[in-house]
Amino acid sequence: MNKTITVAQIRQAAQEAFDESRNLKGGANADYIPYLANIDSNLFGLSITLLDGQVINIGDTDYKFGIESISKVPTAILAMQQHGTATVLKMIGADATGLPFNSIFAILLENDHPSTPLVNAGAITACSMITPKGDSDAKWKAIVDNITKLCGSAPQLIDELYKSESDTNFNNRAIAWLLKNYNRIYDDVPMSLDLYTRQCSLGVTTSQLSVMAATIANNGCNPLTGDKVFDPDITPKVTSLIATVGFYEHTGDWLYTSGLPAKSGVGGGVLGVLPGIMGIAAFAPPLDSAGNSVKAQAAIKSFANKLGLGIFNGNNITIQK
Ligand SMILES: NC(=O)CC[C@H](N)C(=O)O
């Protein structure tokens, strides 16, 4: 069905979705990373970036929070850009695990396979694949430059978060060495894990993440800067990864109710992609049992449902200025 929506309708739906969700109770800040436990639980922001470069910001959209697992998306894109989408499928995989993001069991069940770049195991492998191999500083620069180009502005390392995660990431150390045992880490193990931990500790705003999402929705061309950040064939691949496993063991429920491919992080962020239409991001620290922000999910879902957005309904959306 052809459907035309106006920018005014988008603004109104976003404001209503934000207002409906702001007083939701439930969930709790992540506390297995001490820094995250102390973030103000009431922070809440919602941002939408349209493919003509318009950004709609509501609430705490300038607050820099830990990107956490949402960083898995840009680094998967970088690995695909550097090595090609077929190589990433071969060297990491694209399967949903149906298990928590940090599951060791998932690695064993997949029979030595890290499954997908969007769970911890696959993301550590993706960091190991980034070139130039063996050069931690140059790899880090490639990771940050890529995020900067996707967002149109730079993320900022939160030193305290990086230290907090590095001091407590025992489970991820086990994952990294288990993968090494299966020949699935393609560079130095502690270096690959450190790059993963550091990228999770980057601070970003919802406004920046919505631009990143819009760049993905726009086949790799940043709608704000006009920069061609990655090749167009990567958009359907990375969006399929996001749709398959973006909310871990709650991904099916999420996709069924929202219709929108989205990726969460335990910092409280969610990034959603509607290919050809828009990027969306929300942030609120309290998480559900799978580590997904309660309010960010509610706001994005409500926004999408109000406007009939979603990748499964057959709607052909045109946005009118
Ligand atoms: N789901 C997440 O956001 C997890 C990221 C976190 N850095 C971890 O490795 O546990």
CA atoms of 157 and 206, how far apart (whole Å): 16
Residue 305 has pLDDT above 90, yes or no: yes
Residue 160 within a domain: yes
- Planar angle of CA 319, 260, 210, nearest 5 degrees: 65
289 in a structural domain: no
Does any domain span residue 250? yes
Query: Which contiguous run of DSSP H or E holds residue 47?
Result: strand 45-50
Q: How far is the CA of 159 from the centre of ligand 1 (A)?
A: 16
25 part of a folded domain: no
Q: Whole domain around residue 203: which residue ranges? A: 32-284
Nearest alpha carbon, ligand 1 atom 9: 120
Residue 184 lies in a domain: yes
Instruction: Give the per-residue pLDDT at 79.
Output: 98
Q: How far is the CA of 120 from the centre of ligand 1 (A)?
A: 7
Number of domains in the chain: 1
Q: Is the pLDDT of residue 321 over 90?
A: no
Residue at 6 is within a domain:
no
Whether 6 has a pLDDT exceeding 90, the answer reads yes
Task: Report yes or no on 307 lying in a domain.
Answer: no
219 vs 236: CA distance, rounded Å: 8
Q: Under a CB-based contact definition with an 8 Å cutoff, are residues 206 and 264 in contact?
A: no
Q: What is the residue whose two structure tokens read 């030595």?
A: 112
Give the mean pLDDT of 178-193: 96
Protein residues with CB under 6 Å of any ligand 1 atom: 68-69, 101-102, 120, 165, 172, 200, 265-266, 291
Look at residue 214 in the predicted model and tell me its pLDDT.
Answer: 98
Task: Find the CATH number of the domain harbouring 268.
Answer: 3.40.710.10
pLDDT in tens, 131-167: 999 999 999 999 999 999 999 999 999 999 999 999 9
**pLDDT value, residue 319:** 96
At residue 167, φ and ψ (nearest 5 deg) are -75, -15
Predicted pLDDT at 147? 98
Residue 72 has a pLDDT of 98
pLDDT tens-place string over residues 95-118? 998 889 999 998 988 876 778 999
Annotated binding residue at 120? yes
Task: Assess whether pLDDT exceeds 90 at residue 1.
Answer: no
Cα separation, 88 vs 148, in Å, equals 22
Q: What's the pLDDT tens digit per position in 43-87?
A: 999 999 999 999 999 999 999 999 999 999 999 999 999 999 999
pLDDT of res. 297: 98
Nearest to 46 by CA among 35, 58, 36, 34: 58
* 11 lies in some domain: no
